[in-house]
Amino acid sequence: MQDEIKLAPPHGSWQIELIRRETNVRENNMAWVKVTDIAYGRLRAPDLDVMEEFLTRFGMHRAERTDKALYMRGTDPAHHIHVTEKGDPKFVGIAYYAESEDDLKRLATAPGASGIENIDEPGGGKRVRLTEPNGYQIEVVCGIAPVKPIPVKRQKLNSGEAPTARAGELMRLPRGPAHVKRIGHGVLMTPRFKETVGWFREMLGMICSDDVYVESKDNLIGSFNRCDRGDTYVDHHVFFCLNHPKTGLNHFSFEVPDIDDVCMGHDYLKESGKYEHMWGIGRHVLGSQVYDYWADPWGRVHEHWADSDRLNLANGSNLVAAEEALRSQWGERPPEKFINHASP
């Protein structure tokens, strides 16, 4: 696996530095804030009609649309989980939730922070904007108005442990797009790996789930990071950073209800004949999600997933070799077009 990844030039011993930074964050409360979850991704595209068609086929619903931007939602109550501004194709940045406006007040005093702004977009709310080390915009938001969830009917599964859970009821899956629930994580490629991982941990309070190395344990090539909610269980990661000569977005990831939905969504997009399939279907090792990846018309990769690992602070962190970490438990090996993909 490590032979397929185009690594950025080595920067020396990173592991000790990252452990030092994370220890300071945990023990000395050095993080400016501790974000609670990912809120949405922000892209640009020259044609909002084309983007909306892709995202609708992918399984999202229009929340709002203006002359300048498209806001798409899932079936969960978040007002929107995906923003596309009209303009030349670009990855703009990622937004995360603050626990309270008090956190925004604290973050607004950080170096380079925008100060607290009213969000002049559908859903409202407040935010602080920052720029992470690669020049992308990070929004920390709170107070965005929720919307009513969209009900999705799912049938029970008969299994060895519950062979009559669906007794007398035939399994019939409606054909159509997947049912995207919420956004799960964003993945960033960068040669400024050490600086970027440190920034997300110190500014946003993220903690390591798994760091990934090649050959030597101090030669880190990737870092999976989750929110620090103490005893509360959270997704295995909301941010994955990969050391790479390219800089940009590798993908945004979106949860669907179950494995059937991953597969049905795959068939629906494949039958359209309009979009490039990037990787899948399979099950990851780190995070354990069942995954499937598709590119939008401008090459930005979007993932369907189901069944993630959930961790809390007590689970700690791990150091894992790349040949174990970046393979699949089942499914094909990642193609080069995926693992070396970055949308600037």
CATH number at residue 312: 3.10.180.10
Query: Is residue 158 exposed (0-12), middle (13-18) or buried (19+ Cβ within 10 Å)?
Result: middle
Range of the domain at 49: 15-146+178-339
pLDDT (average), residues 86-96: 98
pLDDT (average), residues 322-339: 94
Please check whether residue 211 lies inside any domain of the structure: yes
Please check whether residue 161 lies inside any domain of the structure: no
The CA distance from 226 to 121, in Å, is 27
Per-residue confidence (pLDDT) for residue 218, from 0 to 100: 92
Q: What percent of the chain is modeled with pLDDT above 90?
A: 90
Q: pLDDT band at residue 149, thresholds of 50, 70 and 90?
A: very high
CA separation, residue 119 to residues 80, 128, 288 (Å) = 13, 9, 35
Please check whether residue 6 lies inside any domain of the structure: no
Total domain count, the chain = 1
- Residue 6: how many other CB atoms lie within 10 Å: 12
The CA distance from 31 to 26, in Å, is 8
Nearest Cα to 322, choosing from 191, 215, 185? 215
Please check whether residue 164 lies inside any domain of the structure: no
Tell me the pLDDT tens digit for each residue of 319-329.
999 999 989 99
Please check whether residue 163 lies inside any domain of the structure: no
- On the question of pLDDT at 11 being above 90, the answer is no
| Contact predicate 10/219, CB 8 Å | yes
The per-residue pLDDT of the chain, averaged, comes to 93
Query: What does the chain come to in residues?
Result: 344
Q: Which residue spans within the chain are E strands per DSSP? A: 37-45, 61-65, 69-73, 82-86, 90-97, 117-118, 126-131, 137-142, 182-190, 207-213, 220-226, 234-235, 239-243, 248-255, 276-284, 290-295, 301-306, 310-311, 318-321, 328-330
Tell me the pLDDT tens digit for each residue of 179-191.
999 999 999 999 9
Q: pLDDT band at residue 81, thresholds of 50, 70 and 90?
A: very high
Please check whether residue 344 lies inside any domain of the structure: no
Amino acid 229 reads R
Please check whether residue 160 lies inside any domain of the structure: no
Specify the 3-state DSSP secondary structure of 254.
strand
The CA distance from 74 to 84, in Å, is 15
- On the question of pLDDT at 59 being above 50, the answer is yes
- On the question of pLDDT at 44 being above 60, the answer is yes
- On the question of pLDDT at 6 being above 60, the answer is no
| Contact predicate 305/289, CB 8 Å | yes
Tell me the pLDDT tens digit for each residue of 222-277.
999 999 999 999 999 999 999 999 999 999 999 999 999 999 999 999 999 999 99
Per-residue confidence (pLDDT) for residue 8, from 0 to 100: 54
The CA distance from 91 to 40, in Å, is 12
Please check whether residue 86 lies inside any domain of the structure: yes
- On the question of pLDDT at 1 being above 60, the answer is no
